[in-house]
Structure 1
Amino acid sequence: MHYDVTITMHTTFTQQNFDLVLNLFETFNFWIVT
């Protein structure tokens, strides 16, 4: 059951927020480096 929930969340997360989170990580990494 945990596996199914993880897959569903991952799929939804990827479809809706992957670009946003990727951008957020890039911004955060830039802030850390700078």
Structure 2
Amino acid sequence: MPPEYLLRVLVLQTLYSIRSERLLMEETEFHLGY
């Protein structure tokens, strides 16, 4: 497996986890406010 591919996968994973965490936080705030 080429290192560039590994790096790209790592970056995508990080971005995805950050985005899903943010979505979770927004949903939690929404439910708490509701």
TM range (shorter): 0.5 to 0.7
Moved over 3 A (4+): none
Higher alpha-carbon Rg: 2
Q: Percent identity?
A: 14
- Which 5+ residue runs of structure 2 have no aligned equivalent? 23-34
Aligned alpha-carbon RMSD (Å): 1.3
With normalisation by structure 1, the TM-score equals 0.53
- Give the TM-score, by structure 2 length: 0.53
- Unpaired runs of 5+ residues, structure 1, are 1-11
Number of residue pairs aligned between Structure 1 and Structure 2 = 22
